[in-house]
Structure 1
Amino acid sequence: MRSKFLPFSAPTITEDDIAAVAEVLRSGWITTGQKSADFEKKFAEYIGCPAAVVLTSATAGMHVAFNALGIGPGDEVITPSITWVSTVNLAVLAGARPVFVDVDRDTLMASASSIAAVMTPKTKVIIPVHFAGSAVDMDPIMELAKKHGVAVIEDAAHAAGTRYKGNHVGKTGTSIFSFHPIKNMTTGEGGMFCSDDAALVERIRRLKFHGLGVDAFDRQMQGRSPQAEVLEPGYKYNMTDISAVLGLRQLARLEEFNAKRTDLAMLYRRRLAEIDELIPLTDAKYPVRHAWHLFIVRLDTDKAGMSRDDFMMELKARNIGTGLHFRAVHLQKYYLEKMGMRRGMLPNTEWNSDRICSLPLFPNMTGQDVDDVVDAIKEILKK
């Protein structure tokens, strides 16, 4: 058994990262400033999109996006149920109705055909979820949305560095990234809204800072314009320079981080091929460069003779952490009791929700760590 606990994820923070944050703290300018502006510029350049807006979280980005698109009562929001709860919660809080689309059983992502099957005249926005570091097949979804005049917001929380058909996720269209501590790069907490719709970007920039007619940091004045006034009610979702400087340093090493994640994922694949009770996700059938945000397996509960939850507990008892991405939203208490959801609606989603498990994966792991995880799994299943 390992003597030291192996978490399922951990941020890669160096002493130089800490020093950069300390430098901002000593500078006297610690809220939204030049570092935040630089982070937006560098991230937009990295993925190749025209503009980016940095925020306090990906959830904040989705919130202001819903507001900008006028999502409200009578509207329907299509999204998978295998997702983090924030998107669905925001739809409900806006008065809209979440419409869940089933996912492919082995990639855990939605397709254009599955989305088309649940669209109605009330559909206002489609939110495909790029999952675990892979990418949704976006071209047919964008064609479908254009045909019906429906907006698309790509949930790219798992997709920093992911490429779809040779281009970075987020280069075109509208997408939202997350920089939570478990993500491929982190700002502590934070998110980035990216879009090639200039008018939408301007609106997001306004809404994220009180609805003022200028950003929290006026790039010309190096401060805030005294002429700023409220153009519409807005929120308080601006990122501080304390977080942004960490984001700049993380972004500079993102390719390195993802290369290490890929090496570890390939080692997992080789070692787990020896274990019949675990079913990894499969690769997309279209060109994708996987960012390996998560390494996900499904436990064949019949072959294993145990539940997924018991499997995770046994690993924890051996000092190995795991994650669960995700419990299906439509099967959670509120949505069952208040929204009329029920088991049986989404068979592929539910099969995965009962069996899914995220194994440890982060850049500072070693090959020995992977071996420890696999050896522990073998011991548990043999027992």
Structure 2
Amino acid sequence: MADPVLPYGRQTIEDDDIAAVVQALKADFLTTGPTVEAFERAFAETVGARHAVACANGTAALHLAMLALEVQPGEAVITPSITFLATANCARYVGAEVVFADVDPLSGLMTPETLADALKRVRARRLRAVLPVHLRGDAVDLPGLGALAGEAGAVLVEDAPHALGTTMTFGGVAERVGDARHAAMATFSFHPVKTIATGEGGMVTTNEAGLAERLRALRSHGMLRPQGSEPWWYEMHEPGFNYRLPDILCALGLSQLAKLGRFATRRRALAGAYHTALAPLAPIVRIAARPSWSDPVLHLMCVLIDFEAAGVTRRRVVDGLRERGVGSQVHYIPVHRQPYYRARYGELHLPGAEAWYDRCLSLPLYPGMAESDVGKVAGALRDVLSI
């Protein structure tokens, strides 16, 4: 039997995680119970925010953020083109128009320069929010982006599913992704390939009590229970959604969150091993650039490959790696290229995003990997590229 293929990412589920879920299954509440609040409190403490609101998934987290800000039809939201579809789609869910920002071609991140260019394309629309993405786990320049957004009358909402555990240093001050010092809110995902897993799940963090209250109401049909009212009484002043995260999944999230330090240490060690193992493949292969302020817990090991110089297509590299037991993925196809957005906004030339997409490839990275697996990946890549 052939050796299994190393996936680009996967969950790490251990016996105590299973025991936590079993205990939740035996408890009185499978959903809307005390484990949800326990997970929220622990998460808020972990990232350093005052409030955390759990929800069904990372896309729901983004949608709730737009609803909580009361973004209106016809208003504008800026997102980078290098991201998952949900970052842009959440603006369309509330009728807002998307303005795509370019990215740095070596890091894939929105920068103050690319945001400034996108601001010129907002035109007469009212700009409500800027959604920078902490791609791979590396943090964007939050103070720089926040200053530009503030001057334009907008707020930041950090799209942070890749960056749980990432720390930053701005002006000599240590910060954590999700602490919402520079943003109205930060959103997270607990999809199985992310740093911690709940199966599906999401979280929104904020330091504003009013936003937290709106997020909690909107995730549960818009229901409010006025203080001092009858125990059965509820009121709906605006429609919300069923975006709740069940206690069963929050039990898994609590168990996983307790391991974040270990997972972070392992991911950083594997990233260091990749830096060593891939160094001989330069300049054909280079690891995505890391900003000086960012100390990431990488969700993705993205490399940039000069396929033209190597004389091989990306498809041939992907297939050749799989033949050698190594999985890979592409993060991401520029969202402005998607048929829906091309039909809505026309052709858009974003050279940084195009250059990133033309060269990017994500290699296996997850805590269950052995360091020998990093050597296997590097060796397979060297063979496929004939370096």
TM-score by shorter chain over 0.5 = yes
User: What's the TM-score once normalised by structure 1's chain length?
Assistant: 0.93
Report the residue type matching 1:72 in the other structure: Q
Residue of structure 2 in register with 1:363 after alignment: 367
Q: Are 1:294 and 1:359, in contact at CA under 8 Å, matched by a contact in 2?
A: yes
Residue of structure 1 in register with 2:66 after alignment: 66
Matched ranges for 1:18-29 at <5 A: 18-29=18-29
Q: Are 2:222 and 2:238, in contact at CA under 8 Å, matched by a contact in 1?
A: yes
Residue of structure 2 in register with 1:177 after alignment: 188
Residue of structure 2 in register with 1:15 after alignment: 15
Separation of aligned partners in 2, 1:254 and 1:19? 18
Cα drift, residue 348 of structure 1: 1.0
Q: Are 2:112 and 2:148, in contact at CA under 8 Å, matched by a contact in 1?
A: yes
Deviations 1:132-157 (A, max 9, x none): 11100101222222222212111011
Deviations 1:172-212 (A, max 9, x none): 23100111100011111111100112111111111010101
Deviations 1:360-379 (A, max 9, x none): 00001001111111111111
Matched ranges for 1:286-301 at <5 A: 287-301=293-307
Q: Are 2:61 and 2:187, in contact at CA under 8 Å, matched by a contact in 1?
A: yes
CA RMSD of aligned residues (A): 1.9
Q: What SS does the aligned partner of 1:273 have?
A: helix
Residue of structure 1 in register with 2:384 after alignment: 380
Q: What SS does the aligned partner of 2:136 have?
A: coil
Separation of aligned partners in 2, 1:299 and 1:309? 12
Q: Residues 260 and 200 from structure 1, CA distance in 2 versus in 1: closer, same or farther, beyond 3 angstroms?
A: same
Separation of aligned partners in 2, 1:2 and 1:340? 47
Residue of structure 2 in register with 1:89 after alignment: 89
Residue of structure 1 in register with 2:212 after alignment: 201
Name whichever of 70-79 and 288-297 sits farther off.
70-79
Name whichever of 144-153 and 357-366 sits farther off.
144-153
Deviations 1:202-243 (A, max 9, x none): 11111010101149xx9x9xxx95222223211000100110
Matched ranges for 1:239-318 at <5 A: 239-276=245-282, 277-285=284-292, 287-318=293-324
**Is there any run of 5+ residues in structure 2 with no aligned partner, and where?**
none
Separation of aligned partners in 1, 2:231 and 2:144? 43
Q: Residues 228 and 5 from structure 1, CA distance in 2 versus in 1: closer, same or farther, beyond 3 angstroms?
A: same
Cα drift, residue 65 of structure 1: 1.5
Residue of structure 2 in register with 1:42 after alignment: 42
Residue of structure 1 in register with 2:235 after alignment: 229
Report the residue type matching 1:339 in the other structure: Y
Matched ranges for 1:70-219 at <5 A: 70-119=70-119, 120=122, 121-122=124-125, 123-165=127-169, 166-171=174-179, 172=181, 173=183, 174-214=185-225
Deviations 1:347-366 (A, max 9, x none): 01001112211100000100
Q: Are 1:206 and 1:214, in contact at CA under 8 Å, matched by a contact in 2?
A: no
Separation of aligned partners in 1, 2:5 and 2:327? 7
Deviations 1:82-118 (A, max 9, x none): 0000121222233222111111111111112321222
Q: Are 2:79 and 2:101, in contact at CA under 8 Å, matched by a contact in 1?
A: yes
Q: Are 2:63 and 2:93, in contact at CA under 8 Å, matched by a contact in 1?
A: no
Cα drift, residue 62 of structure 1: 1.0
Name whichever of 130-139 and 301-310 sits farther off.
301-310
Q: Residues 188 and 76 from structure 1, CA distance in 2 versus in 1: closer, same or farther, beyond 3 angstroms?
A: same
Separation of aligned partners in 2, 1:363 and 1:213? 41
Q: Are 1:278 and 1:299, in contact at CA under 8 Å, matched by a contact in 2?
A: yes
Separation of aligned partners in 2, 1:178 and 1:316? 27
Separation of aligned partners in 1, 2:355 and 2:13? 36
Q: What SS does the aligned partner of 2:138 have?
A: coil
Report the residue type matching 1:283 in the other structure: R
Q: What SS does the aligned partner of 2:280 have?
A: coil
User: What's the TM-score once normalised by structure 2's chain length?
Assistant: 0.92
Deviations 1:222-269 (A, max 9, x none): xx9522222321100010011001110111111110110111111111
Which portions of structure 1, spanning 4 or more consecutive aligned residues, are displaced by more than 3 angstroms?
A: none
Q: What SS does the aligned partner of 2:95 have?
A: coil
Q: What SS does the aligned partner of 1:336 have?
A: helix
Residue of structure 1 in register with 2:333 after alignment: 327
Residue of structure 1 in register with 2:56 after alignment: 56
Deviations 1:315-336 (A, max 9, x none): 1122211121111111122222
Report the residue type matching 1:9 in the other structure: G
